Chain A
Amino acid sequence: MEYLKPYKNYIASLNIVWHLFCIFLSAGVGYGASYLFDIPASILAGSIFLVVSITFSDIFLAKSALATTEFLSNVILYVSSEISGTAAPSAAGLKPRKEFMERLANYVYDMSSKNVMALYPVKKATDTPASEMVNAPKSKSSLKSPLPYLVIDSKYTIICASQSATNYFNLPKEKIEGQKFFDILKLSFSSDDTLDNWLGFVGERSVIADRSWERVKLTMPDESTRQIDLAVHFSKNDPDDQEIVAVIFDHSAKYGRDDDGASFVAMAVHELRTPLTVMRGYIEVFEEELTDKLDTEQAEFLRNLSAQAQQLGSFVSNIQNLARIESNDLELELKSNDWAKVLNSTLDDMDIRAKVRHKVVKRKIAEDLPAVGIDRGTIYEVIVNLLENAIKYTHTDAPITVSAYLKEPGWVETTIVDQGIGIPDSLIGHIFDKFYRSHRTSKSVGGTGLGLFISKTIVDAHGGQIWVKSKEGEGSTFGFTIPTFDSLASEGRSSDNSIERSAHGWIKNHTLYRR
């Protein structure tokens, strides 16, 4: 197919390798520099990351860029020997030299001013007054960063915006300074690991802390959106009440290119789904029309085939969801649904997959459950993933029990209980991490380790909670809560009901709808 151009694949993998390389490089160099200069590590790491990332495209074009990369990697040799305590190959015994780091800093500055300027409109090339620089070493005037940054006090009021920040936001200084931080910096994070939560966390426990985020969506004053990396330095009880410094690394152009990578995923998913549609279609014809002509073994083979095709379909959906989550694009439409009906029809869909593995799935769904407010397509994935796991990790014919009940007013809880191999204590804390799979079981059971991560993200997005209880050798219980529709409606989070959604798409409800 024309849209599956082989080079996209190549670029995608190259990009990952390059990202890892950049992170390593910037973490090492940034940490080293912060050690020497008392510059917030994340800020420097971030700026180096920026420079190195941008340099990527130049590498094939400009010799100077190559030289810079080489220079940076040399620096790592020097720095790493000092920081890690282990001698790097060619730098054993060498102390990092201050002027060496200074030159590095200048490199970073030069390159970033060249490249960053190109990323957003700078009306006047006015130098940032030195007094505005926070935490920058006084003698390093050349370090004046063209990156937009904001200084915020302990009451979350912006007390200083750099010239570059006013240019970036295209707002006069007085419209930024004195405003509340979150009114200017309207950020949207891909998970609940947000700046807000982090500040709450470090405010309690730390005096000085640094943190950076990648791929944060920033809504600009003109309502356009940008994609940024954000580096934040936190310093409690600062004498000038400069508690937070936030630096913006605008990567809209680069992440925009990555989104082409996301559409690569969309195309790959499309290409996988087409033969899958055909396979499922033919399997169904056989199931309908051959049943009395097949012997027991052949009938079982056909069931296996059907179950496997379904499983492949689930996997493809998981990939799609992961791509959405990663590009911060998981949007839910929460609608009123009869939970017993949703659960029963999903379990019916899963029936054949349980059967071919000789598992019995018991249902204990409370009667008279209140309507729930869910995005039916995505919650379907949660049930499928949890049940699929229960089936996979039960190697006996012990039954699996799916229960649903009103946990407390406003919340319906669903649990999936198996008596399978269970999860060791040491690993249970990581079970919802991306790509997590028990190392012990990974050989005997297939899967990607995406299911639980995706399930957690989806349940979180519903405002519910997902949890696990497990004992090795005795089985696992997974549970999740979803809000009742009433509680959602009272919060104004629900959307209209003229469209009926399901796991496989939507149909307009013609009893409610007239064109």
Chain B
Amino acid sequence: MAGLKTILCIEDEHFISELYARALRKEGYEVTIMLSGDDGLVAAQTDKYDLILLDLMTPGITGMEILDILRDPSKTPNFHSKVIITTNLDQEDSMREELERKADGYLIKAEITPKQLVGIVKQMEEQISNLGG
């Protein structure tokens, strides 16, 4: 199955990233944690990851800026990772369209448990494998 085996978690709240990493690792995923936006961007641009969990409010460069750079082929050529926004900010209407264009998902962290996050990642894997890609 074409999977989302390697996952980058860009999340400054240490407790949250640990909880996510723990739950995902238990299910066999490889998880790398970056606690700042700047480190996160550098890691994301290596395109080593199948999936990026991206917080919007990161110290330094923000999640939204990271997303912009990742989706700009002149700044990040050959970018293939899926990006799921993980945030506790409610999606503002002004940003809705842009986020729906640039991200592959948008999750309110307080509304899901780490286990549910794993379920969502698995569901996404299934859909991708159904595509044959």
Q: How far is the CA of A345 from the CA of B123 in the complex (A)?
A: 16
| Structural contact, A270 and B57, CB atoms closer than 8 A | yes
B131 at the interface (CB under 8 A from A): yes
B13 at the interface (CB under 8 A from A): yes
Q: Number of residues in A with C-beta < 8 Å to the partner?
A: 32
B64 at the interface (CB under 8 A from A): no
The contact of B114 among A273, A284, A507, A511, by CB within 8 Å, is: A284
| Structural contact, B15 and A499, CB atoms closer than 8 A | no
Q: How far is the CA of A507 from the CA of B123 in the complex (A)?
A: 10
Q: How far is the CA of A286 from the CA of B111 in the complex (A)?
A: 18
Q: In the complex, how many angstroms separate the beta carbon of A122 from the nearest chain B beta carbon?
A: 30
Given A282-B19, A504-B107, also A331-B131 (CB < 8 A): no
B69 at the interface (CB under 8 A from A): no
Per-residue B-contact encoding for A445-463, CB less than 8 Å = 1, 0 else: 0000000000000000000
Q: How far is the CA of A313 from the CA of B89 in the complex (A)?
A: 13
| Structural contact, A273 and B22, CB atoms closer than 8 A | no
Q: In the complex, how many angstroms separate the beta carbon of B51 from the nearest chain A beta carbon?
A: 12
Chain B residues positioned under 8 Å from A316 (CB to CB): 110
Q: How far is the CA of A272 from the CA of B127 in the complex (A)?
A: 33
Residue of B nearest to A265 (CB): B90
Chain A residues positioned under 8 Å from B115 (CB to CB): 284, 288
A-B contact pairs, 25 of them (CB 8 A): A266-B90, A270-B57, A270-B89, A273-B88, A274-B88, A274-B109, A274-B110, A277-B109, A278-B13, A278-B19, A280-B110, A281-B15, A281-B16, A281-B113, A285-B19, A317-B111, A320-B90, A504-B107, A505-B106, A507-B104, A507-B105, A507-B106, A507-B123, A510-B127, A510-B128
The contact of A273 among B104, B110, B124, B131, by CB within 8 Å, is: B110
Q: How far is the CA of A179 from the CA of B77 in the complex (A)?
A: 54
Per-residue B-contact encoding for A241-272, CB less than 8 Å = 1, 0 else: 00000000000000000000000001001101
| Chain B residues engaging chain A, CB cutoff 8 angstroms | 13, 15-16, 19-20, 22, 57, 84-85, 88-90, 92-93, 100, 104-116, 120, 123-124, 127-128, 130-131
Chain B binding surface, main DSSP class? helix
| Shortest 9 CB-CB contacts between residues of A and residues of B | A504-B111, A273-B110, A273-B88, A281-B19, A510-B127, A505-B107, A507-B105, A277-B109, A278-B15
Chain B residues positioned under 8 Å from A507 (CB to CB): 84, 104-107, 120, 123-124
| Structural contact, A266 and B113, CB atoms closer than 8 A | no
Chain B residues positioned under 8 Å from A282 (CB to CB): 15, 19
| Structural contact, B108 and A504, CB atoms closer than 8 A | yes
Chain B residues positioned under 8 Å from A285 (CB to CB): 19, 22, 114
A508 at the interface (CB under 8 A from B): yes
Chain B residues positioned under 8 Å from A510 (CB to CB): 104, 124, 127-128, 130-131
A276 at the interface (CB under 8 A from B): yes
Residues 287-305 of A contacting B (Cβ, < 8 Å): 288
Chain B residues positioned under 8 Å from A511 (CB to CB): 127, 130-131
Residue of B nearest to A320 (CB): B90
The contact of A331 among B93, B123, B127, by CB within 8 Å, is: B93
Per-residue B-contact encoding for A307-319, CB less than 8 Å = 1, 0 else: 0000001001100
Q: How far is the CA of A511 from the CA of B130 in the complex (A)?
A: 7
Chain B residues positioned under 8 Å from A276 (CB to CB): 110
A509 at the interface (CB under 8 A from B): yes
| Structural contact, A506 and B113, CB atoms closer than 8 A | no
Q: How far is the CA of A508 from the CA of B112 in the complex (A)?
A: 17
| Structural contact, B105 and A277, CB atoms closer than 8 A | no
A329 at the interface (CB under 8 A from B): yes
Given A278-B19, A313-B111, A316-B110, also A505-B105 (CB < 8 A): yes
